[in-house]
Structure 1
């Protein structure tokens, strides 16, 4: 799901064409922390409406209502009565199987008991997806993903011989999270898709295979010199997320990846020598 900007509204008349353009994008920090994320004005204004619903301000009022399809310099609503006979064009977006959401209006007053201002349109016709947050790569990488469990043969304490192979593998298990983003509760599922093994001797292997114990040799490496070496594994994760308030309960692909690193214990690579005995 990609958050789209506020839908433009076009009003035609015999003397002029009025184009109400989508507002510029704003910035807001997400609940997951990290870098700022860029939001469209549509979502930014919808978040303000959600905040008002949770903590009603007596000096502010919101309402959903149609946008009058009239020949006028000013956008109007039918909140205070029926619109005048249609004489222009209002573009309503196509949302697939979803119904578009009516425009959201706001009015204010300076004090309780004071007259209300005229209704102001805060969001035009939009699709329901436009009112949901997008989990970005920056958000994804703020999650604490437990690294893959990593194994090698010979195992701990086993002798690693020069010019002989070691075999590595991982447990490619999914990770699940329950978290929130911009006040929306979400589920996240992530899984490993690529592995880069750094064998500590200047050689590395990148593969999509999790490997396996012998006789699986998808992840195998031969050391040509003796010494102490440390294997480091970098795992690439992909994921998907679902927003609780999405009426379709749709799983959405995260646009980007996350990384984890696992460092195995150092081990000695030795040379097997034969000795004559009397």
Structure 2
């Protein structure tokens, strides 16, 4: 299915690309990972699936990602969260299922907090793939080398080779400092909705222990944790995509 052309909206000076499929509620909202875009395999799979199910579907690229404007190195969790909330409020109606991949799971959990704070209780379910909430604090900071700490101090960033791109990953001091004020894994997390976590046990980027820690902080009676023995971080194989569609379909039925 060819993706329709995006529309663009200005959010705090960045031109944010948005794609929307009209359909029934509960709708599905895709939140991608760090340095990924909304035309990736999982996002496109959900686009085709929501069309077949007659459901609304919403996705966007964070600033500095994909088709959106802005510089990647200027991005922080706070900035990408603000963009995601603006898109959610402007383009979605009624109950929604948030589907967050990797960093997108962090954005999703923060969105729930901010929406509840504002009295907007429209998130009816969360599906989190290889979730990486608090990754700057939990996964990056403890592993920093002396050279990386020096780069952060002197240059304001450090670069790491990426397994998923020819371009290195850039981690800025602003991203890491901002990550500390957006932490969600500091105690019990009350999402006020069911949560389904999909985690590969062969994930080299986000260890399964991180998903288990997250699950332990969520209300047990509303959490499903699916561990995929040979699943990697992308979770983009045919069997992974089938599991994703089943998980989202189950959330939709529960919310209907």
Same fold (TM over 0.5): no
Q: What TM-score do the two structures reach when normalised by structure 2?
A: 0.21
Q: What TM-score do the two structures reach when normalised by structure 1?
A: 0.20
More helix by share: 2
**Rg larger in 1 or in 2?**
1
More strand by share: 1
